[in-house]
Amino acid sequence: MNAAALAALRERLERFHALSKAAEVLHWDMETRMPRPGAASRALQCGAVARAAHEILCAPETRGLVDELGPALSDPGDESEPAALWRWAERETARRARLPAALVEETSRATARAQDVWVEARRRSDFAMFLPELSCVLELKREAARALDDGGDPYDGWLAEFEPGMRAADADRLFAELEPGLAEITARAIARPRRERHPALTGFFAIERQRGLGEAAARLIGFDFSRGLLDESAHPFTSAPALGDVRITTRYDERDPFSNIFTVLHEAGHGLYEQGIDPALADGPLCAGGTMSLHESQSRLWENAIGRGREFWTAFLPRLREAFPSAAGASLDDVLAAVNSARPSLIRVEADELTYGQHVLLRYGLERRLLSGDLRPADLPEAWNAGMRERLGLTPPDDARGVLQDVHWSAGLFGYFPTYLIGNMISIQLYAAALKDRPEIPERLSRGDASPLRGWLRDKVHRHGRRLAAEQVVARACGGPISSRPYLEYLRAKHGA
């Protein structure tokens, strides 16, 4: 192997990675602290950085180094860091070279503008205000899909951005296996008489006290605040500019302290993944989660399998009572009933773990129709509301609680939504494997010690970053491929009785 060529490729990829992470900081600031009058200039800045990063990756010099190193590093059985770096570079240079630099720059500008408008449109519940920006972003993403089209499903190009190696047909197969059982369990669960939330868990919960409660939840599962921070945004998200700089956000509801707690657990799950990557991979493109479905498996595992469990609340209920003494009248069982109640709701990020899947399937179907042209952006609110009625028996009373609730389409993240549901599947497979390997996990969690589970996940998932594909991680940790069956069995056992 040519060591000089490898060093030159590594240097180019590190420059690309540095610019990509600089873009993350720009977007973080835009969504948390930036004054709105700065939005137009920020869009130009984001576009310039995106184009500069794209041009480094797609330069003839970069591709030349990839081709030169191919004979030495292309063995699929080679799991060394240089071979993993080469595989990433070989795939991404080939894929991104099909996207014109001007398209990349304009898409970054358009999504920055759209995100700013989306925040205000959501506040006003005014889809018409957002429609021109959405139409612009969608057309740019369609142009990208056409450039990436290899004769298969056009959605493949969108999905590959978040789930390399997976095709739309793979997602369709998993969802086709899942959907009938999910629909059956959901229908039975929501038909049961509803147990109302204990009065001690209703009322007013001051945001100032909720902030400390959210931080306590993140600390309990092991989020390292010496290398991270917690802030507030219109739509919760995680950003990881560096191994030593992992940022998560939440949002607050004065009527419901659980909304913040589960949001923080979700985002801290993402954060733990980023904080757990092997330091040897720092500052290069392998220093990131393997795929978005793996990333979402971590957030959903901590949010649901752990955060809605008896062991977590055995440890955390005293914190809730300390922050809000009025909650002292509620027992552990009252809290568990409140956080595990399955009932249709309008907002995806606040949905219970059972009905959540219907939210994702709705968005996935709408994305497929938008890409094909079967659904016009102007008709999206009507299609959204019809889908909500069909899947959950609810009609959103306004756009803010309907089509405008998610940030993804304003950010150009078409193809992201399927990873949430695939992540749910993986989360249960991983947790079952962890319990088999470390049976002490539940008892330690009940004492407020998440280190056995966190350590298992760090070894089996986190440390690999992008060095291993999602299929490899799941197969090694769980002994088999990604499957919907364990997830359905989990839901049936918990919500089917």
Question: DSSP string spanning 258-292?
Answer: HHHHHHHHHHHHHHHHHHTS-GGGTTSTTSS-S-H
Q: Which of 346, 417, 349, 421 is nearest to 387 (CA)?
A: 346
> Looking at 398-481, which runs of residues are DSSP E strands?
none
Burial class (CB in 10 A: 0-12, 13-18, 19+), 497: exposed
**pLDDT of 192:** 87
- The domains of the chain are located at 3-148, 169-495
Positive or negative torsion for Cα 179, 180, 185, 188? positive
Amino acid occupying residue 405 = Q
Burial of 91 (0-12, 13-18, 19+ CB in 10 A): middle
Residue 497's pLDDT is 65
Closest CA to 348 of 449, 236, 185: 236
Paired tokens of 129: 């205000």
Torsion, Cα of 75, 77, 78, 80 (10° steps) = 150
Contact between residue 130 and residue 117 where contact means Cβ atoms under 8 Å apart: yes
358: buried, middle or exposed (CB in 10 Å: 19+, 13-18, 0-12)?
Answer: buried
- Is there a catalytic annotation at residue 267? yes
H/E stretch holding 230 reads strand 228-232
Distance CA 9, CA 280 (A): 17
pLDDT of residue 466: 96
Please tell me the distance from the alpha carbon of residue 338 to that of residue 196, in angstroms, as a whole number. 8
Q: Are 190 and 237 in contact (CB under 8 A)?
A: no
CA angle 168–173–179, rounded 5-degree value = 115
Query: How far is Cα 255 from Cα 140, in angstroms, rounded to an integer?
Result: 40
Are 336 and 310 in contact, with CB atoms under 8 Å apart?
yes
Strands of the sheet containing 238-242, edge to edge, are 228-232, 245-250, 238-242
Find, among 130, 93, 128, the residue nearest to 110 by Cα.
Answer: 130
For the chain (length 497 residues), average pLDDT per consecutive 10?
A: 93 97 95 92 95 97 96 91 96 96 96 96 98 98 94 92 94 95 92 89 96 97 98 93 97 95 97 98 95 97 97 98 96 96 92 95 97 96 97 96 97 96 97 98 98 98 95 95 95 86
- Of 23, 476, 29, 465, residue with least CA distance to 274: 465
Sole residue written with tokens 């979402």: 296
Which residue in this structure is represented by tokens 């949002």?
A: 251
Rg (CA), the chain: 22
Please tell me the distance from the alpha carbon of residue 266 to that of residue 47, in angstroms, as a whole number: 29
Which tokens in the block code for residue 184?
Answer: 């059956």
Q: How far apart are CA 489 and CA 389, in angstroms?
A: 26
Residue type, 8: A
Catalytic residue among 267, 274, 296, 353: 267
Instruction: Give the pair of three-digit tokens for residue 194.
Output: 């509803």
CB-count burial class (<10 Å; 0-12, 13-18, 19+) for 68: middle
Q: How far apart are CA 219 and CA 66, in angstroms?
A: 42
Indicate the burial class of 65 (C-beta count within 10 angstroms; 0-12, 13-18, 19 or more).
buried
Closest CA to 287 of 54, 87, 21: 21
**Which neighbouring-strand residues pair with 305?**
none
- Please state whether beta strands 238-242 and 245-250 pair in parallel, antiparallel, or not at all (unpaired): antiparallel
Q: What is the structure's pLDDT at 151?
A: 86
> CB atoms < 10 A from the CB of 149, how many?
13
Q: 228-241 as b/e, with b when 16 or more CB fall inside 10 Å? A: bebebbbbbbbbbb
Given the structure tokens 């991270």, which residue do they identify?
228
By the 10 Å C-beta count (0-12 exposed, 13-18 middle, 19+ buried), 227 is classed as middle
Structure confidence at residue 481 (pLDDT): 94
- Could you tell me the two tokens for 19? 């610019």
The pTM (predicted TM-score) of the whole model is 0.95
Report which of 260, 430, 292 is spatially closest to residue 360, judged by C-alpha positions: 292
DSSP-assigned beta bridge partners for residue 6: none
Distance of CA 496 to the CA centre of its chain: 27
Contact 286, 467 (CB under 8 A): yes
Domain at 169-495: CATH architecture: Orthogonal Bundle (1.10)
pLDDT score at 71: 94
Query: How far is 201 from 85, CA to CA, in rounded Å?
Result: 50
Confidence (pLDDT) at 190: 87
